[in-house]
Each structure stands twice: as structure tokens, then as C-alpha cells.
């Protein structure tokens, strides 16, 4: 069994073990209550997602339009001189590589892999405190399809080109292709409190966590720091699981995505239960298949920020099918969510509230355990209610959001502080 750690205060709640049928895993050492912090860690390496490079501080991840720019690579941004100074030891080598390929910026996985290489070169024992070392991480190279391999080969040549100016030798025992594959299988999307993915990070011990479509743990981030919390009561020696995929999708979608990305067929209890899709796929099948098949088009409109077209397309679908497909149908729910987003972006708050309210009953049904997505949806609707002047209703919804978030986010999370402030505002306004 692996090393005990100096950060054991929190880690002592869990240990590495062999999970029957799954291989390596993590399990609880004692009973854990919902909302309890199980593990907390900074990443071994991190990179800001390409999409957010221009608008995000590399150090504290705060957002802004006029950030300071690294004068050498012209790519990295910072909110203050302090943040820039703090980043320099990690950025130094990367900065040369960025200059070398300028004006191109390699993809996220390439930049993250390079950062891992730099970390290991300057400190070969960087992951020695972890329960799972990078050399133990699985690459799944053998199970990969020809097409995926081809993509990996291209990323690998990009990585070599990127590193060329600095690193002539990789850390011992690591070839770039398998390191890239390991990073892609094991890194985590780092999201902000509102679940926007702002970067990628590697937290080696957390790669031991297996998947379940009804997980007993969730991960949230405060800046780059990962926090693993229980969302249900966990018994001693019970396995700790997170969900690798969106749990608000029917079984076949979840299984396809898990097979495609993580190379296993999910056999969890939820996937084995024939009835579990009933509420998610409610209504007339011939109708919801039309909605389902329209979703890629809605995604394209959203991606292109064509909000008026998105709004019209959503309204047309809802108008045509809501008599035959209930709001709780997951595909209908995605349309309602997209419509709410487009209304908010177009400043049509009353209409946004109307559709947001319709989503809440469905969210309650599909999230039996506290879940960050549920919390964020409640928060969005509560803000709309507050804006519309319905202070009493807003207070109730903020309270519901708070109840979920104190479990999923933890009471010290900045977003929970914001909810508390909103609640206080509501209370003051009612007096
Ligand atoms: Zn900053
Ligand atoms: Zn730079
Ligand atoms: Zn499953």
C-alpha cells in the first residue's frame, strides 16, 4: 500500500485499494457525512484553456478584459504584477516555448503535458506525495481507435515542436506519446464556481477515483485548488466515486461517452436499472427524437453566439412538442436551458425566468443527491426572481441553492459567500 502523506490531515479520510472489477480505486477509511471535505489539493500542473487565455489571469484565474501581458511570449496574462511574479518560476520555460511557436498556441493538452514535463525535470519527485504516481497512470494506448491514435501522433509532433527550444531530454522512463495519452485520460477540467471550464489540471491522486453514474462525491475548485466532497453519507471502506460524464443524460449516451473517452462499459447500478431512463425519456418517442436530433444544431448556434436564431429555434421546438414531451425529458430540458441562456444574453429577463422556472421541477427530479449543476440552476433562477421584484420567491430559491451548495461547494466557497449576501439583501428588502 502506498505512501502516507504529509498532507494527511485530509487525506487520512481515504486510502488506495483494489476495487473488484475496476482495478485501482479510493475508499473511505471512516464514515463521511454529506458536505464533508475528503481531499483538497493544488495541481501538479495546470494550464488555462485556450478559449480563456486572453481574458484570464494565469495565477488566480480571475477574469478581466485589460490584463497585463507577458512582454516576451505575448500569450500569458495576469491581473497584477504580484500574480505575474508568482507565476514566473512555472512560466519561465513555457515562455520560451510559446515564443518559439508564436503566433501559434498549442492545444490545451499539449501545453499541460509540457508543464508536467517541466515540473518533473525541475523536481523528479514532484508526485512522490501522491497516492498514484504519473508513471502508474494508464494511457489506454492499446484500446485506442486508429483515428484517435492518428490524432495523438499529430499532438505529439506539436509537443516536440513546442519543446524543441528548451528540453532535449524527457524525464526518465517517459516517452512523449504515452505521456500525452496519460494526460488526456487523467487530467481534469477545472471549472469556476458557475461550472464554466476555465482550464485543465493534473491531480494525480484523484485519478484513482472511479466512475459511477450516481456518484457519492463531487469535485469543485477554488481557483486551481481541487476539493473533493461527499454528497451522500459514505460508510467506512465504501468506494469513493465521481461521475466522469454528465449525469443528466440517458444511459446509452453516458455509456457511449464513457466507452469513447475512457474505454470501459459502465456497469453501475444506475446503468443496470432498466427503469432509470423512464423519467429522462418521458413523452412520445417520435417527438423527443426530433428534439434530440435538433440539439447539435442548437449547439452550433450557441457556439457561434447566434442568440436570436438560437432563441427562435428553441421556441419553435418547445411550441411544436411540449404538449407531447414533458419538461422533465432530458432533451426538452436542454432546449429549455438553451432558451433561458439566450433570453438572459438578450436581456429578456422576464421570459428567461418563465423558462428557468420550468426547468427547476425537472432538476429536482433528476438530481436525487446534491449536485453543483442543480445549485447553479437554482442560483440563476433566484437571481431572475430577485431582479423581477419577487423578493419572497427569490429568498426561497436562494435558500434552496444555499442548501445544495453548502454540500457541493462547501460553506467557504466564494460563490456561497455571494449567495449569503443575496439572501441578506432579500431579507433586508422584505422588512
Ligand atoms: Zn491574478
Ligand atoms: Zn511569457
Ligand atoms: Zn453507469
pTM of the full structure: 0.92
Q: Is residue 183 a contact partner of residue 114, using CB atoms and an 8 Å limit? A: no
**pLDDT at site 6:** 40
**224 Cα to the center of ligand 1, angstroms:** 12
CA dihedral 400, 402, 408, 409 (to 10 degrees): 160
Joined together, the cell numbers standing for residue 295 give: 440539439
Joined together, the cell numbers standing for residue 190 give: 477545472
Beta strands in 310-402 (DSSP E): none
Q: Is residue 91 a contact partner of residue 58, using CB atoms and an 8 Å limit? A: yes
What is the number of the ligand closest to the CA of 78? 1
Phi, psi of 14 (to 5 degrees): -140, 160
What is the number of the ligand closest to the CA of 214? 3
**pLDDT at site 65:** 87
What is the number of the ligand closest to the CA of 76? 2
Q: 230: which strand partners?
A: 217
**126 Cα to the center of ligand 2, angstroms:** 23
Q: pLDDT by residue for the chain (431 residues), tens digit each?
A: 334 434 344 558 999 999 998 999 999 999 999 999 999 999 999 999 999 999 999 999 999 989 999 999 999 999 999 999 999 999 999 999 999 999 999 999 999 999 999 998 888 888 888 999 888 888 888 888 899 899 999 999 999 999 886 656 676 667 888 999 999 999 999 998 889 999 999 999 999 999 999 999 999 999 999 999 999 999 999 999 999 999 999 999 999 999 988 889 999 999 999 888 998 999 999 999 999 999 999 999 999 999 999 999 999 999 999 999 999 999 999 999 999 999 999 999 999 999 999 999 999 999 999 999 999 999 999 999 999 999 999 999 999 999 999 999 999 999 999 999 999 999 999 88
What is the number of the ligand closest to the CA of 213? 3
**99 Cα to the center of ligand 2, angstroms:** 8
What is the number of the ligand closest to the CA of 58? 1
What is the number of the ligand closest to the CA of 252? 3
Distance (Å, rounded) from C-alpha 134 to C-alpha 81?
33
Quick one: which of 219, 236, 104 has its CA closest to 162? Answer: 104
Q: Is residue 282 a contact partner of residue 310, using CB atoms and an 8 Å limit? A: no
Distance (Å, rounded) from C-alpha 191 to C-alpha 198?
5
What is the number of the ligand closest to the CA of 211? 3
**pLDDT at site 172:** 67
Relative to beta strand 23-28, strand 210-211 is: unpaired
Beta strands in 136-242 (DSSP E): 188-191, 197-202, 210-211, 217-222, 225-230, 241-242
Residue environment code for 203-219, b if the CB has 16+ CB neighbours within 10 A, otherwise e = bbbbbbbbbbbbbbbbb
**82 Cα to the center of ligand 1, angstroms:** 8
Joined together, the cell numbers standing for residue 362 give: 425537472
DSSP 53-115: TTTB-TTT--B-SS-EE-TTTS--EESSHHHHHHHHHHHHHHHHHHHHHTT----HHHHHHHH
Joined together, the cell numbers standing for residue 138 give: 494508464
**21 Cα to the center of ligand 3, angstroms:** 14
**66 Cα to the center of ligand 2, angstroms:** 17
User: CA of 225: how far to CAs of 202, 276, 379, in Å?
Assistant: 11, 34, 23
Distance (Å, rounded) from C-alpha 364 to C-alpha 23?
34
DSSP 271-300: HH-GGGGTTTT-S-HHHHHHHHHHHHHHHH
**269 Cα to the center of ligand 3, angstroms:** 7
State the chain's maximal CA–CA distance in angstroms: 68
Amino acid at each position: 500500500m502506498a505512501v502516507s502523506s504529509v498532507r494527511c490531515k485530509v487525506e487520512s479520510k481515504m486510502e488506495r485499494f483494489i476495487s473488484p472489477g475496476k482495478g485501482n480505486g479510493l475508499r473511505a477509511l471512516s464514515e463521511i457525512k454529506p458536505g464533508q471535505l475528503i481531499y483538497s489539493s493544488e495541481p501538479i500542473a495546470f494550464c488555462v484553456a485556450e478559449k480563456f487565455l486572453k481574458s484570464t489571469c494565469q495565477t488566480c484565474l480571475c477574469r478581466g478584459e485589460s490584463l497585463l501581458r507577458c512582454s516576451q511570449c505575448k500569450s500569458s496574462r495576469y491581473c497584477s504584477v504580484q500574480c505575474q511574479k508568482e507565476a514566473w518560476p512555472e512560466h519561465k520555460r513555457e515562455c520560451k516555448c510559446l515564443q518559439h511557436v508564436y503566433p501559434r498556441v498549442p492545444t490545451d493538452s499539449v501545453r499541460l503535458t509540457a508543464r508536467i514535463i517541466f515540473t518533473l525535470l525541475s523536481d523528479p519527485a514532484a508526485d512522490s506525495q501522491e497516492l498514484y504516481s504519473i508513471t502508474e497512470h494508464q494511457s489506454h494506448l492499446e484500446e485506442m481507435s486508429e483515428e484517435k491514435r492518428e490524432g495523438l501522433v499529430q499532438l505529439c509532433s506539436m509537443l516536440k515542436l513546442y519543446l524543441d527550444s528548451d528540453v532535449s531530454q524527457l524525464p526518465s522512463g517517459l516517452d512523449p506519446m504515452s505521456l500525452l495519452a496519460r494526460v488526456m485520460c487523467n487530467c481534469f477540467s477545472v471549472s469556476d464556481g458557475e461550472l464554466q471550464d476555465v482550464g485543465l489540471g493534473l491531480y494525480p491522486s484523484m485519478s484513482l477515483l472511479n466512475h459511477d453514474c450516481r456518484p457519492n462525491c463531487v469535485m469543485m475548485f477554488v481557483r486551481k485548488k481541487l476539493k473533493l466532497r461527499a454528497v451522500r453519507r459514505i460508510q467506512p471502506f465504501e468506494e469513493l466515486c465521481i461521475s466522469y460524464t454528465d449525469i443528466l443524460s440517458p444511459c446509452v449516451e453516458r455509456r457511449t461517452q464513457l466507452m469513447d473517452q475512457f474505454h470501459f462499459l459502465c456497469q453501475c447500478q444506475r446503468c443496470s436499472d432498466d427503469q432509470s431512463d423512464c423519467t429522462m425519456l418521458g413523452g412520445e418517442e417520435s417527438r423527443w427524437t426530433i428534439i434530440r436530433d435538433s440539439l447539435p444544431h442548437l449547439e452550433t448556434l450557441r457556439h457561434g453566439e447566434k442568440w436570436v436564431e438560437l432563441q427562435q429555434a428553441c421556441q419553435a421546438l418547445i411550441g411544436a412538442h411540449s404538449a407531447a414531451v414533458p419538461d422533465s425529458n432530458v432533451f426538452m430540458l436542454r432546449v429549455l436551458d438553451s432558451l433561458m441562456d439566450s433570453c438572459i444574453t438578450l436581456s429578456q429577463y422576464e421570459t428567461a425566468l418563465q423558462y428557468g422556472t420550468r426547468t427547476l421541477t425537472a432538476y429536482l427530479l433528476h438530481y436525487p443527491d446534491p449536485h453543483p449543476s442543480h445549485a447553479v440552476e437554482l442560483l440563476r433562477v433566484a437571481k431572475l426572481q430577485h431582479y423581477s421584484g419577487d423578493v419572497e420567491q427569490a429568498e426561497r430559491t436562494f435558500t434552496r441553492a444555499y442548501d445544495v451548495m453548502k454540500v457541493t461547494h462547501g460553506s467557504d466557497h466564494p460563490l456561497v459567500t455571494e449567495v449569503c449576501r443575496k439572501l441578506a439583501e432579500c431579507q433586508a428588502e422584505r422588512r
